[in-house]
A and B are shown apart, each in its own frame.
Chain A
Amino acid sequence: MTASTPNSGPVALPVTDFAVPGMRCAGCISKLENGLALQPGIANARVNFTAKRVAITHLPELTTPQLLAAIADTGFEAQLINDALGDSAGGEAQHLLKAMAVAGFAMMNIMLLSVSVWSGAAGVTRDLFHWLSALIALPTVFYSGQPFFRSACSALRKRRTNMDVPISIGVTITTALSLYETFTHGPHAYFDGVVMLLFFLLTGRWLDAVMRNRARDGVSALLKQTAAGAMVLQANGKTTWIDAKALVPDMVMLVAAGERLAADGVVIEGVSSFDLSLLTGEMTAQLVVVGSDVHAGTLNLDAPVQVRVTAAGLDTAIADIARLMEQASQGKSVYVRVADRAARFYAPAVHTLAALSFLGWMAAGAGWHESLLIAVAVLIITCPCALGLAVPAAQIVVAGALMKAGILVKDGSALERLAEVDMAMFDKTGTLTMGRPTPTNLADANGEQKAVLLALARASRHPLSESIRRGLEEKGVIAAKIEQIREVAGSGIFATDNGRAVSLGRPDMEISHEGLAAQLQIQGQPSFAVHFSDQMRPDAAATLAELKTLGLTSSIISGDRAESVAPIAQALGITAQTSMLPQDKLDAIARQKAAGHKVLMVGDGLNDGPALAAGHASIAPASASDAGQHAADVVFLGDALTPVAIAIRAARRTQHIVKQNFVLAIGYNLIAVPLAISGLVTPLVAAAAMSGSSLIVVANALRLKMAAK
């Protein structure tokens, strides 16, 4: 790359990360990387497509707005990533992957040696092979066993037991005994079994971690929605860019049209309209004048305003919702996953069984060495890999299938909880409806009107203009050439077209058609009114009917007014509660929870965030605010609502398969444990049984590949 530093020595240039959600293809990567590298002051830009991020290495002089402008020049919208909420998420999966790689390597090499022992190597050769196996196995157990040892320790410290306790005890005792066998030239060493057990179990753990990470790139999501800072008017009349963290009450922010507010405040100069959809879910823009309260995260649509800060950072309304969300999600962490529930019964049983067989054989007159060997065989055969794989294998297969269908599942416990829901609550705007006003009568305009309409709509960032623009561009309309464009807050855009005054704005006559409308005026011609409506998702009714057959009762909880919710509720034939604040939605869910229901929350707005976090399970469309997506367990792409039903059906099927897998794993125990207790399990039998049962469980899980159909 061409470094544009004057004396580019070993000085480390700052690197800033931006989220660029709009990148979709290879062309976007090269456009961003090459386009940014050409800009003055930028040394290098590197895109991470998976995380939809670009890391820019730049001169320290460049400020965040300048970098954002540079990205905008390449044609992309970007947001600064708050690095405070770091990337520790990927670390766990990577650690597990390393542990798994080591275990896999050790397993292959020890098997190589074991096969010759099984096929009859004796005497010095067998001893040598056992020593070599020990040499490989000991560091492996020490390194790869750590995730289990650590989790077992912390469980024991809390006087609880989980799956990791029998695993840790089994692994430790077996390794110690095998080492003893090697010292005393014994015939059987279980190094292969130990390492294989670790490998299969780590595979299960790793799959689980991968699944959790995959849909979790919006960790810093909520704070991303507020602006990362603001232009602040100084006492001497100059303006400077101040970071959101450094804003304090009584500063005066200059907020240009199209900017998001970085803090709560009061408007002290200017008239504009604000898009509050992030906070309330309501789509109609709200007019603000001097004295109006405005909140962080809302979007200034029309004209520049000056805002005196009243609350910043952790005191803003958006941060309140974040806190509410955090509290709500604490309830969810109480949920105990299926595997752990199974372990509660399983672990004590296994320990008792091993202890009993040790005591039994001692009583029967076998030496302590032989008795211990048998107890170890029982331990290693009863904590089979199959149990470790039973849940994650099924869940990762179904998550993959759902992902292909455009449904992203955050983690395995989400699938388990989703399978249990018996009641669904929907937000209206953006969930049952598309959440954007769509022009309904553009086809009625004549050619000239369309051309002028597009030209005017393109000049504004008002949501209605944007939807007109989208609608017309889809039809291939070419914009007229207009001049002297100016936007007047609250009334519209004015311009001239070949000397005629043209405008697009607030309708002056009473148009009662569903509320939303805009009026196009061309001098000397009759005006044309564009009507908008927020259309219902195409298959909302069918989906609700399907949920009914799945045994879920549905209702609407909306922050919107009753008049706009009623038609939708009537069309779908379900009950609705309206004008609800985020706290009200939380209460509604808490009431149902207290009545014994398991509520599925489906919502999209920031105002749904706490409710999404509180629901037993939750689903959000991909068009949702980042906060919504962050809080939801499942995010689906596309305009249709069917994924809600598909996800529930797939989750239930997964639970079914998971249960089958448990039955398979336990069935295998019923056969293997008597063998182990009677002292017939050699390392060869253990290895065969373990890999056999694991394969069966994985094969059973693969049947879920079609679950998303």
Chain B
Amino acid sequence: MTGLALLIPVALGLGLTGLAAFFWSLKNGQFDDADGAALRILIDDEDRP
């Protein structure tokens, strides 16, 4: 039973963290431009020679 007292809050806490992270990213606009995010990785940021 002592194990439960520790593990259940831990499990709930982890779940809540994930949920909060998801809400934060949604609010932060991380899902607004899914196609663009996939393309931005291809952009070279260095100045051209």
Question: How big is chain A's contact interface, by range?
Answer: 20 to 34
Cβ contacts A14-53/B at 8 Å (1 or 0 each):
0000000000011101100000000000000001111100
Question: How big is chain B's contact interface, by range?
Answer: 20 to 34
Q: Spot the interface stretch: A1-9, A102-110, A288-296.
A: A102-110
Residues of B7-46 whose CB lies within 8 A of A: 8, 11-12, 15-16, 18-19, 22-23, 26, 32-36, 39-44
Q: Which residues of B contact A105 (CB under 8 A)?
A: 15-16, 18-19
Q: Which residues of B contact A132 (CB under 8 A)?
A: 8
- Interface of chain A, helix or strand or loop or mixed? helix
Contact of B36 among A27, A47, A101, A102 (CB under 8 A): A47
Q: Which residues of B contact A27 (CB under 8 A)?
A: 43
A109 touches B11 (CB 8 A): yes
B8 touches A26 (CB 8 A): no
A649 close to B (CB within 8 Å): no
Q: Which residues of A contact B8 (CB under 8 A)?
A: 113, 132
A112 touches B34 (CB 8 A): no
B23 touches A49 (CB 8 A): no
Contact of B23 among A25, A29, A47, A101 (CB under 8 A): A101
B16 touches A50 (CB 8 A): no
Q: Which residue of A lies closest to B42 (CB)?
A: A26
A94 touches B33 (CB 8 A): no
A98 close to B (CB within 8 Å): yes
A222 close to B (CB within 8 Å): no
B32 touches A97 (CB 8 A): no
**Given A109-B12, A112-B11, A132-B8, are A49 and B39 neighbors across the interface (CB < 8 Å)?**
yes
Q: Which residue of B lies closest to A124 (CB)?
A: B1
B15 touches A109 (CB 8 A): yes
A404 to chain B, nearest CB (A): 14
B49 to chain A, nearest CB (A): 16
Cβ contacts A281-321/B at 8 Å (1 or 0 each):
00000000000000000000000000000000000000000
Q: Which residue of A lies closest to B43 (CB)?
A: A30
**Given A98-B23, A102-B19, A105-B19, are A29 and B12 neighbors across the interface (CB < 8 Å)?**
no
B26 touches A94 (CB 8 A): yes
Q: Which residues of A contact B44 (CB under 8 A)?
A: 30
A97 touches B11 (CB 8 A): no
B26 touches A51 (CB 8 A): no
Q: Which residues of A contact B16 (CB under 8 A)?
A: 105
B35 to chain A, nearest CB (A): 4
B30 to chain A, nearest CB (A): 12
Contact of A49 among B1, B33, B41 (CB under 8 A): B33
Q: Which residues of B contact A98 (CB under 8 A)?
A: 23, 26
16 inter-chain pairs at a CB distance below 8 angstroms, sorted by A residue, are A26-B42, A29-B36, A29-B40, A30-B43, A47-B33, A47-B36, A48-B32, A48-B36, A49-B33, A49-B36, A50-B35, A101-B19, A101-B22, A112-B11, A125-B1, A136-B12
Task: Show the binding face of B for A, using Cβ within 8 Å.
Answer: 1, 8, 11-12, 15-16, 18-19, 22-23, 26, 32-36, 39-44
Task: Show the binding face of A for B, using Cβ within 8 Å.
Answer: 25-27, 29-30, 47-51, 94, 97-98, 101-102, 105, 108-109, 112-113, 125, 132, 136
User: Could you list 8 further interchain pairs (A-B, Cβ under 8 angstroms) beyond the known A49-B35, A49-B39, A105-B19?
Assistant: A25-B39, A26-B40, A29-B40, A50-B34, A50-B35, A98-B23, A101-B23, A125-B1
